[in-house]
Structure 1
Amino acid sequence: MIVEGEALESIRCMEKVESNRCSDVYRYEIPVVIRRVLKGKFKAGEKITVSYLHYDYGKSDCVGDQGPVILPGQEGLFYLRSQSEKVYDAFHWSAVKTTRPGAGFLPKCR
């Protein structure tokens, strides 16, 4: 599924998926409103939830952070696969091609 869309407010950290000596891996979700459908079963104006993993390497010297960071107001192409009803996974670090950057920061996971 490929859509042009805009990320909305209310980004949420869902869970810490993994922790190792190099990184902590977190799953985030953010609502996205679809502007145009390039491939898939969506409709323009539909709101979906996009889930993605972010690799935080802040606690080590292994490498820098990786993974898509989708922030409120961000617009672009989203390459997605279905995770569940109304939740779609940005499954690769390059799964979001930004045309307008978002604002803010990832929330802390508790």
Structure 2
Amino acid sequence: MSDLKEFMGKKVHVITADARFFEGVLQGYDNSTNIILQDCIERILYSEEDVDEENQEIPLGLYIIRGGEVACVGEIDPAKYATIDWSTLKASTLKTTKNPL
């Protein structure tokens, strides 16, 4: 958990166990990996198969993500971030983790 200390006050991306994608400034965390994000947004990225859908950016403000839901936290590189056009970016469809019946 001490690895998150270096991200404090910095913009991060968080991916949750249910594949949600958040972005915000890390304001706090605890030993259970509960995370507090300031100026948080949720990004919804669609795949190329979803031709009628436009990527979404949902402003959430101050947001808490429960530690049991956090799958990945990563610092955002401002130089690379500035080159991303989120409106045209397409995501790959995630494969299911469930066994087929």
Alignment TM-score > 0.5, same fold: no
What's the TM-score bracket when you normalise by the shorter of the two chains?
Answer: 0.3 to 0.5
TM-score by length of 1: 0.31
Q: Greater share of strand residues, 1 or 2?
A: 1
Q: Greater share of helix residues, 1 or 2?
A: 2
Which structure's CA Rg is the greater one? 2
